[in-house]
């Protein structure tokens, strides 16, 4: 037999590189997902490799188990419609040791798949809060799926964007410490809005600015209604071992009922209708020498609330700036003074970095 025939019937084994061990699909190519794709490209030479085998948005999906090559977005725009069913298939076809889906969408249909992926042996990293911050049953299903699949759920970016809020809570819990109370500003967009609002510029103009800076949810009513903050409070409470139901949180929203049912485009054209309500609350707080903040709290008796509060000028939340978040954890061992985590709590760069950090931690 000739050497050539030998080579054909017995091909040299493919040399596996470090990159081959971790296959990743990124869902969502908007502010956060798009920034993550850029970070993956920029840091490719400096970190342990992640092989990108798929990207998708609501309109297209581009999948290749051997790895995608640039220009990613141009190729995605030419690809067929979004097929979430194909995500698990491409990850298994990659034969990678570690398979990760990164969810950078706000979509419930994507969140509904997290538990299935975890149970199948696919790790999930997410900025999407819906699966953990929704019904208690969904939360319990996720925990169950994680156990049965032996997988990890990278959720740092769901609360505090890139801040170590959930990580701090888990460290305390691992040491046997118990959360007694939690207070804070959990929304970067609402923090920005109330840190900046001084009555000289309409609230709706600031809201528009927050949207342009990428601080708000795709539909800002998710922020203004308090839903997004309530989801974060649920995630924090559940992470601390307090399995709260959604209905246990008292939520004060800032969206008048007549604007709640509009489409997001119609709502965008009527932002000005919120101005009078916010201004009245602002003037009332000012008359008492206080400032307005949108706060979340969980008390030792399990009562939980999110809403607008007038706080004294020396309150820690009064001194925040930009889109800062603040988490004050009072625990058995931090009972005199709380453990405080504070810093920027919104923005595409810090959120994408939170996702990348979780993915790298899972990659090992």
Nearest alpha-carbon partner for 23 in 54, 47, 46? 54
Measured from the CB of residue 146, what is the shortest distance to ligand NAP in angstroms?
A: 20
Measured from the CB of residue 82, what is the shortest distance to ligand NAP in angstroms?
A: 5
Between 21 and 217, name the residue whose CB sits nearer to ligand NAP: 217
Radius of gyration of the chain (CA): 23
Between 104 and 326, name the residue whose CB sits nearer to ligand NAP: 104
Which tokens in the block code for residue 317? 């939340």
Based on the residue annotation, tell me whether 290 is a catalytic residue of this protein: no
In sequence order, what are the residues at sequence separation of 6 or more whose Cβ sits closer than 8 angstroms to the Cβ of residue 83? 56, 61, 63
* Number of Cβ atoms within 10 Å of the Cβ of 60: 18
Measured from the CB of residue 172, what is the shortest distance to ligand NAP in angstroms?
A: 23
Which tokens in the block code for residue 354? 């939170």
Between 62 and 292, name the residue whose CB sits nearer to ligand NAP: 62
Between 29 and 94, name the residue whose CB sits nearer to ligand NAP: 29
Alpha carbon distance 170, 162 (integer Å):
16
Between 126 and 151, name the residue whose CB sits nearer to ligand NAP: 126
In the block, residue with structure tokens 């930009």: 322
Measured from the CB of residue 29, what is the shortest distance to ligand NAP in angstroms?
A: 4
Alpha carbon distance 301, 256 (integer Å):
30
Measured from the CB of residue 220, what is the shortest distance to ligand NAP in angstroms?
A: 11
* Beta carbons of 241 and 179 less than 8 angstroms apart: yes
Beta strands 179-185 and 324-331 are antiparallel
Beta strands 123-126 and 153-154 are parallel
* Beta carbons of 286 and 194 less than 8 angstroms apart: no
Between 27 and 271, name the residue whose CB sits nearer to ligand NAP: 27
**Residue with CB nearest ligand NAP?**
30
Annotated active-site residue in 75, 129, 137, 232: 232
Between 165 and 346, name the residue whose CB sits nearer to ligand NAP: 346
> Which spans of this chain sit near ligand NAP (rule: CB under 6 A)?
27-33, 56-59, 82, 104-107, 109-110, 127-129, 157, 161, 214-215, 217-218, 346-348, 351
Adjacent-strand bridge partners of 341: 327
Measured from the CB of residue 84, what is the shortest distance to ligand NAP in angstroms?
A: 6
Measured from the CB of residue 122, what is the shortest distance to ligand NAP in angstroms?
A: 16
Alpha carbon distance 100, 36 (integer Å):
14
Query: What residues are annotated to the active site?
Result: 232
């Amino acid at each position: 037999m000739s050497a050539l025939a030998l080579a054909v019937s017995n091909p040299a084994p493919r040399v596996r590189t470090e990159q081959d061990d971790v296959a990743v699909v990124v869902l969502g190519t908007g502010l956060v997902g798009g920034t993550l794709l850029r970070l993956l490209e920029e840091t490719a030479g400096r970190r342990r490799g992640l092989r990108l085998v798929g990207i998708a948005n609501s309109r297209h999906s581009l999948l290749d188990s051997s790895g995608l090559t640039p220009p990613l977005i141009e190729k995605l725009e030419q690809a067929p419609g979004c097929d979430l069913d194909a995500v698990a298939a491409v990850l298994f076809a990659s034969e990678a040791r570690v398979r990760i889906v990164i969810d950078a969408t706000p979509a419930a249909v994507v969140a509904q798949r997290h538990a299935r992926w975890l149970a199948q042996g696919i790790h999930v990293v997410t900025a999407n809060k819906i699966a953990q911050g929704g019904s208690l049953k969904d939360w319990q299903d996720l925990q169950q799926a994680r156990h049965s699949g032996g997988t990890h759920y990278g959720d740092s970016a769901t609360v505090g964007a890139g801040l170590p809020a959930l990580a701090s809570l888990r460290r305390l819990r691992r040491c046997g410490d118990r959360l007694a109370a939690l207070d804070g500003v959990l929304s970067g967009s609402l923090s920005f809005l109330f840190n900046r609002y001084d009555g000289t510029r309409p609230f709706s103009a600031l809201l528009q600015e927050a949207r342009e800076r990428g601080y708000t949810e795709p539909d800002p009513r998710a922020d203004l209604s308090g839903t997004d903050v309530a989801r974060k409070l649920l995630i924090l409470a559940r992470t601390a071992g307090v399995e709260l139901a959604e209905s246990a949180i008292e939520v004060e929203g800032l969206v008048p009922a007549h604007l709640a049912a509009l489409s997001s485009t119609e709502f965008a054209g009527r932002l000005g209708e919120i101005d009078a309500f916010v201004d009245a609350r602002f003037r009332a707080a000012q008359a008492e020498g206080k400032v307005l903040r949108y706060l979340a709290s969980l008390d030792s008796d399990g009562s939980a609330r999110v809403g607008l509060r007038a706080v004294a000028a020396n309150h820690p939340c009064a001194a925040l700036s930009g889109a800062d978040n603040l988490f004050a954890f009072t625990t058995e061992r931090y009972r005199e003074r709380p453990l405080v985590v504070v810093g920027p709590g919104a923005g595409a760069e810090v959120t994408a970095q939170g996702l990348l950090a979780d993915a790298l931690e899972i990659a090992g």
